[in-house]
Amino acid sequence: MNETQHLSSQFDEELNRLRTHVLQMGGLVETQISLAIEAYSTAEISSIKSIIDADRKVNDLEKAIDDDCAHIIAKRQPTASDLRLVLGISKIVTDLERAGDEAKKIAKGVRRIYESGQMPMQYGVGVRHLAEAALALIRQSLDAFVRLDVELARNVIQADSEVDTEFKSIIRQLITHMMEDPRTITTSIEIISIARAIERIGDHAKNLSEQVVFVAEGRDIRHSKESAA
Amino acid sequence: MAAQKVRALLLTVLSASIALPIGYFVAPSTGWAVFSVSLGLQLAFQFRQFAHLDRWSRSPAVDVNLEGEGEWDGVFGRLYRHEKDLRAEIARRDEEISHLLAAGQALTDGVVLLDRLSQIQFCNSMAESQLGLVVRTDRGQHIANLVRQPEFVAYLDLADFSRPLTLRSERRDGRVYSIHVIPYGNDRRLMQIKDITHTDRLDRMRRDFVANVSHELRTPLTVLAGFVETMQEIELDAEEQVRYLAMMGEQSKRMLSIVQDLLTLSSIESAPPPANDVVDMANMIDKLRRDAEALSAGRHVIELESDGLGDLRGSESDLASAFGNLVSNAIRYTPAGGTIRLIWRASVQGAEFAVQDTGIGIDSIHLPRLTERFYRVDRGRSRDAGGTGLGLAIVKHALNRHQAILDVRSTVGAGSRFAARFPANRVLGL
């Protein structure tokens, strides 16, 4: 009796540590995204190096967490909600890592724009708004994961479609710009790739939230009506 | 205890002494029957009391006095009193704890209590709003699960709490917190969160100010010095001399206007409270419109929206310089063909002077810093437009002295609206 209790509490501690590592990784990715937005809107490109450096840490954490997941499954053979948590986490870290990659892409795009002496502000105010919306989605989906808050996760899944709509309207706007003034094409293409990366971040937030619903309720809502909303 | 034993013994002896003669004189079986009936009665009595106690102990209530019979009365009474005392004690402590928690809630700093594993035990509502926590659901969560910023996680991991951590909030835009972790008790930690947004900004403004003044004055001076040198060393023809002198004049005028603005600012800042003269607003607005038309030179449409009612109480020169700055900004940052609307609305609730333009607009990230000295949204552009970088600082100070606030709303590409709102006690003549 005492033995099993001891073991299970040690197991709980392992799971808690795993969760904390995931959220630590989440924190890094959140910061990467928010620094990238700041670099975009303030032309402060000194932080870009730290965004790229953070990506290495994110990658290391992804590997370490994946290892831990495999280890826990092999050693503890978790069942029911514990198993869902571990499976969910191994998917969540993939999405987080990719969101971090997108942040890196944004940072590099911003650097290219400013190094070529252009100012994106005049075309892409909407981009900052889009980026803030996507960052909010990542933040909310991580919060939903911490609290296993299914309602919040569902909100994120729905809000992602708003990000998609906004992305499309930015593209339309930029296309108009390019047609009006072909000199803006180079910068516009950079901005489009930045906006695309932001839109992808929104998608990763959505995937993350779907995993939260899976962890909390055991239902896989990927590619279902619920997730199409 | 002894009394109860004696009593139980006496009762048994009594039943025996009744049963014995009956058994002897009537029939032994009747005697036994009487004896066992009397013992049974005793047992039934005891069992009734036991059942009573059993029932009570399952959900001890203190609203009805717990009474037993016979020797049970003492036991029941003591148990009842014990329970009642305990409850009173618990209620007293609950009250004490709730007082303590209320005190924690009343603090203007955020407070989070963490246990050995850095899990949240308590946090006040200030901390909830600062860090985006929800105490109802987040108790027991590791703090770093919710405050995920890497700087914070590193600070917590390093466990060197000798100096506080300055953290820029991600959840509440632009707020800056100073987080101090104080270990206490056995391995517990108290996290104190102070909002230092204001002091942080003042610090930065002071640093920026010195750098900016020097920079703003150095630029025209360098140009001036360059021309002086050129004229000393190279023989110029008359036409070129005139051109150079004109440029030198321009630069020295620029420096003069910067110094002028700095002086205005410092006189507004250090002057005694503004005079309480009555400022004729109809007149003021008329003058502003004429100035605007002169400055615009027909490039903009100037509209007026005022019913000509209401006057302000204050310093005419301060207000004229504040309003004048708003108007000239609007003209400067509105492309030709745009519309500038001067609005004056006075009512018993207060008054508002607003300048609305259809200009280039200001991105919302600049709005909080707009009234800082030499803060520039777009460095090249505002200097080209001839600003000193002090206009809005002057406006803000002049308005502050009249207990008025400056409200700025702006959309990039669509235009801005700068409004000075005056409290009711500054408005008269309605």
Q: Could you tell me the two tokens for A152?
A: 């919040």
Closest approach of chain B CAs to the CA of A16, in angstroms? 9
Specify the pLDDT at position A92: 92
Q: What's the mean per-residue pLDDT of chain A?
A: 85
Condensed to tens digits (0 to 9), the pLDDT of residues A17-59 reads: 888 899 999 999 999 998 898 888 877 778 888 888 888 999 9
Does the structure show a pLDDT above 60 at A121?
Answer: no
Residue A6 has pLDDT above 60, yes or no: no
Query: A-chain residues within 8 Å CB-CB of B145?
Result: 19-20, 23, 146
* A41:B365 CB<8 A: yes
Is the distance from CB of A163 to CB of A134 less than 8 angstroms?
Answer: yes
The residue with greater pLDDT, B384 or B200, is B200
Answer yes or no: is pLDDT of B140 > 80: yes
Q: What is the mean pLDDT of residues B5-32?
A: 84
- Do the Cβ atoms of A124 and A174 come closer than 8 Å? yes
Q: Tokens 């609005």 label which residue?
A: B343
Q: Is the pLDDT of residue B64 over 60?
A: yes
pLDDT band at B386 (very low <50, low <70, confident <90, very high): low
Residue A66 Cα distances to A29, A70, A220, B317, angstroms? 17, 6, 21, 70
Q: How confident is the model at residue A122 (pLDDT cuts 50, 70, 90)?
A: low
From edge to edge, which strands make up the β-sheet containing B120-123? B120-123, B110-114, B188-195, B176-184, B165-168
Question: In this complex, is the C-beta atom of B408 within 8 Å of any C-beta atom belonging to chain A?
Answer: no
Give the pLDDT score at B57: 83
Partner-chain residue, chosen from B137, B150, B153, that has the shortest CB–CB distance to A147: B137
Averaged pLDDT for residues B36-40: 87
Looking at the complex, report in whole angstroms how far the Cα of residue A17 sits from the nearest Cα belonging to chain B: 10
Q: In the Cβ-directed half-sphere of A138, how many Cα atoms lie within 13 Å?
A: 35
A196 — phi, psi (to 5°)?
Answer: -60, -45
Please give the angle made by the CA atoms of A35, A37 and A42, to the nearest 5 degrees. 90
Instruction: Give chain A positions within 8 Å (CB) of B412.
Output: 125
Instruction: Report the distance separating Cα B79 and Cα B83, nearest Å.
Output: 6
Whether the pLDDT of residue B384 is over 70: the answer is no
| A3-228: CATH architecture | Up-down Bundle (1.20)
Task: Give dist(CA B430, CA B424) in Å, integer.
Answer: 11
Question: How far A147 CA lies from chain B's nearest CA (Å)?
Answer: 7
Judge: B141–A146 Cβ closer than 8 Å, yes or no: yes
Chain A contact present for B350, CB below 8 A = no
Show residues of chain B in contact with A24, CB under 8 Å: 144, 148, 150, 153
What burial letters (b/e) apply to A121-133, b meaning 16+ CB within 10 Å? bebbbbbbebbbb
The mean pLDDT of B293-304, rounded to a whole number, is: 88
How confident is the model over A191-220, as a mean pLDDT? 91
The pLDDT value given to residue B296: 85
- Domain boundary assignment for chain B: 2-89, 107-195, 204-270, 277-428
Residue of B nearest to A13 (CA): B117
A90 has pLDDT over 50: yes
Helices and strands counted in chain B (H then E):
13, 13
Closest CA to A99 of A229, A223, A199: A199
- If DSSP codes are grouped into helix, strand and coil, which group holds residue B11? helix
Q: How confident is the model at residue A1 (pLDDT cuts 50, 70, 90)?
A: very low
Q: What is the pLDDT of residue A200?
A: 94
pLDDT digits (tens, 9 = 90+) for B86-119: 999 999 999 999 998 888 888 889 999 998 888 9
- Mean pLDDT value of segment B116-138: 88
pLDDT for B416 equals 92
Contact A192, A123 (CB under 8 A): no
Helices (H), A116-149: 125-147
CB contact set of A107 (below 8 Å; sequence gap of 6+)? A32, A35, A36, A39, A48, A51, A52
For B14-21, which contacts have Cβ atoms below 8 Å and span 24 or more sequence positions? Answer: B14/B38, B15/B39, B15/B42
Looking at A48-52, A207-211, B369-373, which range is the least confident one? B369-373
B111 to chain A, minimum CA–CA distance in Å?
A: 20
Instruction: Parse chain A into domains and list their residue ranges.
Output: 3-228
pLDDT at B85: 92
What value does the mean pLDDT take over residues B30-50? 87
Contact flag B148-A30 (C-beta cutoff 8 Å): yes
Using the beta-carbon criterion (under 8 Å), do A28 and B150 form an inter-chain contact? yes
Homologous superfamily of B277-428: Histidine kinase-like ATPase, C-terminal domain (3.30.565.10)
Whole-angstrom CA distances from A135 to A111, A131, B119, B167, B238 are 20, 6, 26, 18, 63
Confidence of residue B369 (pLDDT cuts 50, 70, 90): confident
Topology of domain B204-270, CATH: Helix Hairpins (1.10.287)
Contacts of B79 (CB under 8 A, 6+ apart): B53, B66
> Does residue B427 carry a pLDDT above 90?
no
Partner-chain contact A31 B149, CB within 8 Å: yes
B347 conformational bin, left if phi > 0, alpha if psi -120 to 50, beta if neither: beta
* Separation between Cα atoms, residue A84 and residue A97, nearest integer Å: 20
pLDDT at residue B380 tops 80: no
The pLDDT of residue B347 is 80
Q: What is the pLDDT of residue A2?
A: 44
pTM over 0.80: no
Query: Among A93-102, B65-74, B317-326, which stretch is predicted with the lowest mean pLDDT?
Result: B65-74
Q: Per-residue confidence at B270, pLDDT binned at 50, 70, 90?
A: confident
- pLDDT tens by residue, A10-23: 888 888 888 889 99
Asked whether residue A199 carries a pLDDT value surpassing 90, the answer given is yes
- pLDDT value, residue A115: 81
Asked if CATH classification 3.40.50.300 holds for the domain at B107-195, the reply, yes or no, is no
Mean pLDDT (chain B, rounded): 86
State which of A72-81, A90-99, B4-13, B173-182 shows the largest mean pLDDT: A90-99
Q: Read off the pLDDT of residues A133-157 as tens digits, 9 standing for 90 and up.
A: 999 999 999 999 998 889 999 999 9
Q: Suggest the residue from A12, A13, A19, A125 to mutate for an interface test with chain B (most B CBs closer than 10 A).
A: A125
Question: In terms of CA atoms, which chain B residue is nearest residue A41?
Answer: B365
Nearest to B142 among A16, A26, A41 (CB): A16
Q: What is the pLDDT of residue B26?
A: 84
